[in-house]
Amino acid sequence: MPVEALGPYDKDNIFARILRGEIPCRKVHETEYALAFHDINPQAPVHVLVIPKGPYRSWADFSHLASEAEIAGFVRAVGEVARMLELEAPGYRLLANAGLAAHQEVPHLHVHVFGGKPLGPMLVR
């Protein structure tokens, strides 16, 4: 079910619960500002989610409220994940859905890292 990109943060969303250790994940990488883990419903041979550790609902929320250190740390973590998974040379895709029209499903900012095969065009026409 899609969720809105704006509004109050839901501290009981699944990613908040993963960050608190209430729900397990298959961790790929963790920093002071981000956690990366395998998606439970992979859409490519490599499908990892990277989430900020702060309570941010979407890019709009994150870009407006996060500190410069949080923003830099999160963006660096996304790049570190691609490097760790050896996706830089063959190529990879980053995707972040924001809001209803984009079909954001969890009200916590997350970036999908896809790779491991040719991914084709970005949108179906």
Query: What are the residue numbers of the active site?
Result: 110
| Separation CA 77–CA 119 (nearest Å) | 22
Which pair of structure tokens corresponds to residue 20?
């608190």
What sign results for the dihedral spanned by CA atoms 53, 20, 112, 110?
negative
| Separation CA 54–CA 33 (nearest Å) | 7
Burial of residue 89, with CB atoms counted within 10 A of its CB: 0-12 exposed, 13-18 middle, 19 or more buried: exposed
